[in-house]
Structure 1
């Protein structure tokens, strides 16, 4: 077994970069070495409408994602995938309805959801027209690059 050694100071510097930039993870690679530092995302200003039920409500959609994820991959013809790492939101704010719902017809370029990354809310738009057949992620769920967010048929 080939064990790579890392300078603890390198790890501390990467952790400091996370703190300075507000990133939730950073990865560097050089030849056959790779270091990835990640931390839990800081709470964002977007909170569900029911503060008392916020933790259980947010936990349920996140727990449901791994169950659906193996059946769907980015190669599905209608898969809309995340272009970035961040936190997904299905509505513009807690009091507003979701941008889209299952069974809804959408046009190319229509906003489907938001992904908050580095304190910026990024609109995820429909790559083509179609009908929303599945919404895979829950509002407030962390998402990874390339993760399937929803399916358009």
Structure 2
């Protein structure tokens, strides 16, 4: 729970030697902290069943450059809750223009466009936790 408070994260999950612990909090002032029971691994599927199951093909990534998160935090697509988004798909942006904000440890960090171009895709939702290096948007 202390790590959540220090980092500003809303949840964390750790797995070690088959024991999985998940700590999460809601964003209200009196939020309870919940702990998940250890997960029990399901028995492996028979080999022939695994061969017959195929995953649907992943969508092709948009051609362009990914703008990645420089830190762990929470992404916000607009400067204030009632304000319009910094950018939307189809917008043309200039190098250095703010695309979104990543909040880390109560600090709002603007994410600038690394180059001029067109926003082809926004890969995150407003208020979503993000990891270091996670793609946030695609600029073409």
TM-score computed with the length of structure 1 as normaliser: 0.57
Structure ranking higher in helix proportion: 1
Whether 1:125 aligns to 2:115 is no
Aligned match of 1:109 in 96, 121, 126?
A: 96
Structure ranking higher in strand proportion: 2
Distance change (3 Å), C-alpha of 1:88 and 1:19: closer
Distance change (3 Å), C-alpha of 1:89 and 1:20: closer
The CA distance in 1 between the partners of 2:128 and 2:108, in whole Å, is 14
Aligned match of 1:43 in 27, 52, 61?
A: 27
Structure 2 residue matching 1:113: 3-state secondary structure: strand
Unaligned runs of at least 5 residues, structure 1: 1-14, 28-36, 46-66
Whether 1:95 aligns to 2:60 is no
The runs of at least 4 consecutive aligned structure 1 residues that moved more than 2 Å come to 19-25, 37-42, 69-73
Written as runs of structure 1 = structure 2, the 5 A alignment for 1:4-153 is 16=2, 18=3, 21-22=6-7, 24=9, 39-40=23-24, 43=27, 71-72=60-61, 77-153=64-140
The CA distance in 2 between the partners of 1:140 and 1:71, in whole Å, is 25
TM-score computed with the length of structure 2 as normaliser: 0.62
Unaligned runs of at least 5 residues, structure 2: 15-20, 30-55
Distance change (3 Å), C-alpha of 1:22 and 1:38: farther
Aligned residues, how many? Answer: 105
